[in-house]
């Protein structure tokens, strides 16, 4: 049974356009622009668009990376990464920091930036949203919960991208995120929302002591690479004697930005079919 007594229409909207339809169960609250700019990933994306407008484009390296100085500037606006902080005295490559690669990948997916003649340039669509925090954040949330393939950053090929319907996790975190919980907790709710062939990945492979594929994807692709990068959750790392998994708790920013509205009409309760 789908959690929260969602209706057919609510499930449909969570899958297809969770953040851009006024009837969706999740929505982005109307707040001051400064509050939107508390989102780390959004800060990076806005700054990169501004740089591309100011410079007319960034000349890329021979392997397609942005200049190191730009990478360092953008990294400082995002979520700190333990390996960068621990091991790299000088951040000299885009390949060494996930948060910068993610910002660029999302902008590229949204067709707001593109490569042209060895440069990274802003598109006409990018110019239209440059500096517009709420509009860009809505586009980003909707893409990350629908058709943006976050799986390009990992090697878990046996799993689907798991952006499909990931907006359900925002409802779960809204309800249960007041205390630290691990990905296994959220997996048990989320798997009810998946097609049977995806939920069938809920197993523990031979030799794996920490995660099954479904739990690992929810932790990595949704909680870490989506909500954490957006500043909507904080994470307790795995390396602690009292924890077997990373644990996540919603931030104050989550409650400032994310709203949830669900129909309580039992007659409209989800029938088990997803309508495309």
Sign of CA dihedral 13, 179, 246, 137: positive
Same domain, yes or no: 154 and 260: yes
Entry pTM: 0.86
Q: How many domains does the chain have?
A: 2
Picking from 5-19, 29-43, 81-95, which range would have the lowest pLDDT averaged per residue?
81-95
Looking at residue 275, its pLDDT comes to 37
CATH number at residue 121: 1.10.10
Same domain, yes or no: 20 and 157: yes
Q: Which domain holds residue 20?
A: 3-25+145-268
Same domain, yes or no: 177 and 244: yes
Is 245 domain-assigned? yes
Same domain, yes or no: 207 and 257: yes
Domain boundary among 130, 162, 194: 130
Same domain, yes or no: 123 and 168: no
Whole-number average pLDDT of the chain = 83
Looking at residue 264, its pLDDT comes to 55
Helix, strand or coil, per DSSP, at residue 133: helix
Is 274 domain-assigned? no
Same domain, yes or no: 61 and 161: no
Alpha-carbon distances of 105 from 94, 99, 112, 148, 150, rounded to whole Å: 12, 10, 10, 9, 9
Same domain, yes or no: 159 and 238: yes
Same domain, yes or no: 182 and 254: yes
Is 53 domain-assigned? yes
User: Helices 40-55 and 68-75, interaxial angle, to 10°?
Assistant: 150
Task: Give the residue, 186 or 43, on which the prediction is more confident.
Answer: 43
């Amino acid at each position: 049974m789908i959690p929260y007594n969602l209706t057919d229409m609510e499930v449909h909207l969570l899958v297809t356009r969770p953040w851009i339809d006024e009837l969706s169960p999740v929505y982005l609250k109307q707040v001051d622009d400064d509050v939107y700019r508390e989102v780390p990933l959004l800060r990076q994306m806005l700054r990169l668009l501004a740089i591309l407008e100011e410079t007319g484009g960034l000349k890329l390296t021979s392997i397609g990376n942005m200049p190191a100085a730009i990478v360092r500037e953008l990294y400082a606006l995002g979520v700190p990464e333990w390996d960068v902080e621990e091991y790299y005295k000088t951040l000299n490559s885009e390949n060494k920091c996930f948060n910068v690669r993610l910002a660029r990948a999302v902008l590229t997916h949204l067709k707001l930036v593109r490569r042209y003649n060895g440069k990274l340039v802003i598109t006409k669509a990018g110019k239209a949203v440059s500096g517009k925090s709420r509009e860009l954040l809505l586009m980003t949330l909707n893409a990350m919960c629908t058709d943006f393939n976050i799986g390009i950053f990992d090697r878990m090929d046996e799993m689907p991208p798991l952006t499909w319907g990931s907006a359900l996790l925002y409802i779960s975190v809204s309800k249960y995120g007041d205390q630290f919980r691990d990905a296994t907790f959220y997996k048990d709710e989320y798997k009810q929302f998946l097609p049977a062939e995806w939920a069938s990945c809920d197993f523990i492979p031979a030799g794996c002591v920490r995660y099954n594929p479904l739990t690992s994807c929810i932790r990595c692709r949704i909680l870490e690479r989506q909500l954490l990068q957006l500043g909507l959750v904080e994470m307790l790392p795995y390396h602690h004697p009292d924890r077997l998994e990373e644990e996540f708790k919603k931030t104050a920013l989550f409650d400032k930005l994310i709203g949830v509205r669900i129909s309580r009409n039992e007659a409209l309760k989800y029938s088990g079919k997803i309508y495309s």
